[in-house]
Each structure stands twice: as C-alpha cells, then as structure tokens.
Amino acid sequence: MTRINTPRRRWWLLALLAAIVGGTLASARAADRATWDFTLPTIEGDRFVQVSKLPGPVLVNFWGRDCPPCVAELPLLQVFARANRGWTILLVCTDPPQDARVFLEKHNITLLALKSGASVEGLMRAAGNRSGGLPFTVVLRDGQVCKTHEGGLSEADLEALRLAYSSNEARP
C-alpha cells in the first residue's frame, strides 16, 4: 500500500489534530466551570440551603472539630465574612449537628453552618478534592467553581480566594 503525502493531506491531518486538541481543551474548560450544586439542611434543621440559589460570591468550607487546621481557620473565616459583607460563607460540618453547634457556640463562630450528610466525601470530590481531606474550601460564582483550596487557610489564602472570584467576574 502506498501512502500519498501531499500538502492537502497534511493540511487535513493538522486540521483534525487541532480539532481534537481544541475540543479536549474546551471540554476541560467546561468541566472546570461546571455547576457544582447541592442542598443541605442547617445544623439547626430549620431550613435547607441550595448553594446555586445564593446571590453573590459564595465560600463553602468543609471542616471538622477534631481537625486542628479546620479549627484554626474558623476565626479567620469569621473575620473574612465581616470584612466582605457581600459574600456568603457556609460551613459544612462533618461532625454530628449537636456537636458542631456546641463547638461553634463555644468559639463564637456565627457563620451559617450546614449538616454534611453521608455523602460529604462525594460532594468534596465533585468540587475537586481528590483526597477527601479536611479542611477544604470552595469559592463559587453562580454555582460554578472559581477556586478551591485544600488544607488550612491563612489570611493570604483568603485574599487569593477573594481575588480569584474577582478575576472570574471579568470572564464572560
């Protein structure tokens, strides 16, 4: 069998390769900006919160009371919420609701806390946390993930998350 290596054939092969690579990159960008939505009850059990229905920037923090970095970042999140009034800060507790409620009250944390339920690891994995470790933080815009952070947060990390949201504002 003889192969004909003409300029036209090379052009078609390059066009096909460009389409494949371009489609893969577009799919990756679409997956990065895929909607991440969930509905969870508050730890008081008085209402449900659907994250995609919340206005403005949303920061979701997964935490547990037996996780030292989680405990250390709670006061920082409280300060961040006071300084950034337009943001909604949600704490997704991995502890039983009563234990989480007592812990938050003891530490004067007034942020909205949600009950995680049995699928907390799956929920974190869907947002990009492959290890399932705590703490894990997600910044959302209209239900789309702008930025994630695994591990304990510092003031600089919170500022980077705030800036990531701001830079996503400029995107179409």
List C-alpha distances in Å: 110 to 115, 132, 134, 135: 15, 25, 20, 18
66-99 CB burial, b ≥16 within 10 A, e <16: ebeebbebbeebbebbeebeebbbbbbbbbebee
Residue with tokens 């909607």: 35
How large is the average pLDDT for residues 144-154? 96
Whether the per-residue pLDDT at 102 is higher than 50: the answer is: yes
- Between CA 140 and CA 148 the distance in angstroms is 9
Q: Which helix (H) or strand (E) holds 14?
A: helix 7-32
How large is the average pLDDT for residues 50-63? 95
Neighbours of 171 (CB within 10 A): 9
Neighbours of 124 (CB within 10 A): 24
pLDDT of residue 169: 67
Tokens matching residue 52: 């995609």
Q: What's the pLDDT band for 73 if we cut at 50, 70, 90?
A: very high
Q: What's the pLDDT band for 1 if we cut at 50, 70, 90?
A: very low
pLDDT of residue 118: 82
What mean pLDDT value characterizes the chain? 84
Tell which wins on pLDDT, 171 or 152.
Answer: 152
Residues 43, 93: contact at Cβ < 8 Å? yes
Q: What's the pLDDT band for 171 if we cut at 50, 70, 90?
A: low
Whether the per-residue pLDDT at 124 is higher than 60: the answer is: yes
Cross-strand partners of 43: none
